[in-house]
Structure formats: C-alpha cells, structure tokens
Amino acid sequence: MKARFQKGIGMDADANSGTTDLWDIIAEGLERDGDFAAREHLAAGRPIYYVEDDTPEGLLIKKYPDGRRELVRHAREGDEVVRAL
C-alpha cells in the first residue's frame, strides 16, 4: 500500500522550536517500518485510514479488516461515507 500524507492545520512544528514537522516524522517512520503498523491494526480488528495518489482532496480511504474500503470525509462527529470502493 503506497500512501501519501496531507499536512493538516496545526500539524506543523513552530519554526523557532527546533522540532521537526510531525508529517516528516510520520513519513520517516513509514519509510523505516513499511506498513507494519497498518497490518497490525487490521489484524487487531481496527480499520485504517490512508490516501492514494488519486484520492480526492479532503477525503480518506477507510479500509476495514475484512478488506472493505470506503471513501470517507473524517470528522470528530464521525465519518461521512462518500461511497464504497
């Protein structure tokens, strides 16, 4: 599974803090560990969220342990399913 990351509001580190951008840390971990964490979540019965190169802006792919996939808009109130994939 090849994923790309979208920077979110408030996710960048302060330029003066000397810390690395959170998305850089996540990308480095993915490079190092591959999709181990994603496979571990699925094996534990939890869905994962990711995007692919052709995923529309502002949407995510939600993959369930049984292999089902949905295109969703994620919000605190819950996911809005745009369509099944």
pLDDT value for 59: 95
Residues in contact with 57: Cβ distance below 8 Å, sequence separation at least 6, in sequence order? 6
Residue given tokens 């939890």 in the structure block: 46
Query: How far is it, in rounded angstroms, from Cα 48 to Cα 41?
Result: 7
Q: What is the tens place of the pLDDT at every residue in 32-45?
A: 877 888 889 899 99
**E strand or H helix at 49, and its extent?**
strand 48-50
| Domain boundaries of the chain, sorted by first residue | 36-84
pTM as predicted:
0.63
Q: What is the tens place of the pLDDT at every residue in 72-84?
A: 998 889 999 999 9
Query: How far is it, in rounded angstroms, from Cα 44 to Cα 41?
Result: 5
Q: What is the tens place of the pLDDT at every residue in 6-59?
A: 444 344 444 445 556 777 887 787 778 778 888 898 999 999 999 999 999 999
Is residue 62 within 8 A of residue 50, CB to CB? The reply is no
The better pLDDT of the pair 5, 41 is held by 41
